[in-house]
Structure formats: C-alpha cells, structure tokens
C-alpha cells in the first residue's frame, strides 16, 4: 500500500524535503550500480545485434523486478542546475556510472520545483561539481520500467541517465566515488 504525506525540514542543518514522501522500497546505490554494470559488461561483450537486444531485455527485466524503487541518501556530483519555463528549476547529477535528472518545469510527470520554494532556494546554492546526497524516486518508463533518457541502446548501456524525482537534497560532506567525465 502506498502512503503519501508531506515532509518539510529546516533549510539549514540537514536534508530539505518538499513534496510527497512515498512509502516505496529503497534500493542501495551500490546494488543499482552493480545491476547496471553487470548488464553493461554483457552488452559490450555481445557480438551480434540479437545478443545486444537480449541484453537490453535482460536489463529491463532486472530493473522492472525492482518495482517502484526509491533512493535514500544516494551521493553524486552536480552536473547542471537548470532553469525551466515560468520560474522552475531542475538538476542533473552524475552518480558514478549513471546519471539522474529531475527535469525543470515538471516535465515527464515530475513535481515542479518552483521559484520561492525551499528546494529552489537549495538548488540556487549548488554548483557543478558539488557533492550532494539525495532522496527521491525513479520515474516510471515504458522501456525499462524506470524512464531512461538515452537516445539509443549503446548510450543507454555506456552512460544511462534516468528521470528521477528529487524530494530532498543536501550538500554532502562525505567523499563520493562518482567520476564526472562529461
């Protein structure tokens, strides 16, 4: 059963949460990264189009088995903080081997991060390269059950990027292993 509530914390001194909080199963960042890496290795070793197609289906099945997974305390590096139309914001993050993107403007069914909100104020303080800790959830997609944004299979396996709804974000003081290569 899905529980929905609103969580708001102080802007200073920790996690800032806005919007719906969801009671969904958490997946560890390491487990998700391991899943992607295992399928990436198999995809890269594929010699034929049929083998690559089969790896795409196999990864899809593995991601779909996660259900409505959410992330709690995942760490990554800010790639970009972007402006949307009508005073909205978004954020793109490198999580070390894959990316997460909360689109500006509520695109793709995401909650809008509006100017004047505590989340917007937090995003204003972030710069590319900042290490952040996030909580949130993957957005549903047709192909992989999580909305993956790559334009082709090769890109999807080499550097997948997923649509993600960030519900809390803070600068992290811990070291992160994300390697920003973009």
CA distance 49 to 7: 47
Domains of the chain: total = 1
List the CATH number of the domain containing 124: 2.40.50.140
How open is the CA angle 136-139-143, to the nearest 5 degrees?
A: 145
Judge whether 153 lies within some domain: yes
Q: What is the pTM of this model?
A: 0.77
* CB-based burial, 97-128: b 16+ in 10 Å, e otherwise: bbbbbbbbbbebebbbbbeebebbebbeebee
Higher pLDDT, 74 or 142: 74
Residue 97 lies in a domain: yes
Task: Evaluate whether residue 177 is within a structural domain.
Answer: no
pLDDT class of 105 with cuts at 50, 70, 90? low
Q: Looking at the domain assignment, is residue 105 inside a domain?
A: yes
Q: What is the pLDDT of residue 106?
A: 58
Please indicate, yes or no, if residue 113 is contained in any of the structural domains.
Answer: yes
Average pLDDT (108-127) is 86
Structural domain of residue 12, as residue ranges? 4-171
pLDDT digits (tens, 9 = 90+) for 152-173: 888 889 889 998 989 999 998 7
Please report whether residue 181 resides in a domain.
Answer: no
Q: What is the pLDDT of residues 26-56, one digit of tens each?
A: 889 999 999 999 999 999 999 999 999 999 9
pLDDT band at 100 (very low <50, low <70, confident <90, very high): very high
Residue at 182 is within a domain: no
C-alpha 92/C-alpha 104 separation (Å) is 10
């Amino acid at each position: 059963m899905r529980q929905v509530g609103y969580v708001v914390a102080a802007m200073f001194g920790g996690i800032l949460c806005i919007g719906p909080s969801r009671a969904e199963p958490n997946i560890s960042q390491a487990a998700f990264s391991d899943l992607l890496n295992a399928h990436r290795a198999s995809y890269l070793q594929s010699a034929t189009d049929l083998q690559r197609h089969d790896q795409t289906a196999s990864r899809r099945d593995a991601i779909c088995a996660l259900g409505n997974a959410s992330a709690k305390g995942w760490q990554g590096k800010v790639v970009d903080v972007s402006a949307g139309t009508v005073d909205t914001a978004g954020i793109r993050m490198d999580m070390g081997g894959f990316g997460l993107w909360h689109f500006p403007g509520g695109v793709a069914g995401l909650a809008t991060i509006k100017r004047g909100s505590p989340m917007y104020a937090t995003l204003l303080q972030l710069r590319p390269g900042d290490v952040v800790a996030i909580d949130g959830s993957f957005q549903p997609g047709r192909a992989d059950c999580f909305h993956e944004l790559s334009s082709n299979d090769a890109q999807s396996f080499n550097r997948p990027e997923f649509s993600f709804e960030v519900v809390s974000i803070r600068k992290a003081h811990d070291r992160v292993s994300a390697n920003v290569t973009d």
